[in-house]
Amino acid sequence: MDEIIYQSHPDVVIATNTFRNVETILQFEDVPLIEVGKFFDAGYTTRFNVYHSDGTHIAVVKGSQIYLTEAGKKASLKTRHEQNLTACELEGKTIIELRRDGPAAIKGWAELHAPEGVFVKATDADMSAIRGDGTHIHVGGLRLANGFFDGQKIGIHVTRQQITIGGGGRSARVEIGRIATFRSTGGGKITFGESDVRISGGDEQQRKQ
């Protein structure tokens, strides 16, 4: 196995957005889904929680190690390790893929279920969250892309009612669809609700159409 281990905290690129010095990359309510931290003495690696589509907690995957819950002992879950690549498969389908991207960065994507059956998708093409009943948590039509977030406690925070990116930290910069670029120092954030987008703590600069 060629487990991805870093001697210092790496940058993480998810859904075209880069998170620097961010320990929790993706979280639902108060449950971290993807984290990067010093979980082993060897250095920094990833840790993520795996849920079934019905919201049942199946396992915690820490580096190359799978820790099954009692409910997850019957699940078909495995990690796959190739050179500079770690992936996790549930019932034959890849749900997360993380690849070493140079000496100090991880690049990847995830399609994970969360508690309550919420489905969170974070890929280069889409970042979305859908409730178990099929309704979207956030307003559709806008996409956050090519962002850079430094020092936030949580990178992407999904709740039952909204998705928030940024907040706290040292700086943030992200493109909001084709209409604007958001820049902030010292705590700006963007919140996608069911019917609107709210920006706080930063400057919104309109682009030319």
157-184 pLDDT, tens per residue?
A: 999 988 888 777 788 788 777 667 777 7
Q: Identify the burial level of 196 via C-beta atoms within 10 angstroms of its C-beta, where 0-12 means exposed, 13-18 middle and 19 or more buried.
A: exposed
Let me know the angle formed at the C-alpha of 32 by 119 and 138, rounded to the nearest 5 degrees: 40
Quick one: CA torsion of 67, 47, 121, 108, rounded to 10 degrees? -120
Mean pLDDT across 31-56? 87
25-37: pLDDT as tens digits:
999 999 999 998 8
Tell whether the model's pLDDT for residue 205 goes beyond 70.
Answer: no
- Of 54, 52, 48, give the one whose Cα is nearest residue 66: 48
61-85: pLDDT as tens digits:
887 788 999 988 888 888 887 877 8
113-164: pLDDT as tens digits:
999 999 999 888 888 889 988 888 876 656 778 888 888 889 889 999 888 8
pTM score, whole prediction: 0.83
Tell whether the model's pLDDT for residue 94 goes beyond 80.
Answer: yes
- pLDDT category at 49 given cuts 50, 70, 90 is very high
d(CA 144, CA 198): 13
Strand pairing report for 24-28 and 154-158 = parallel
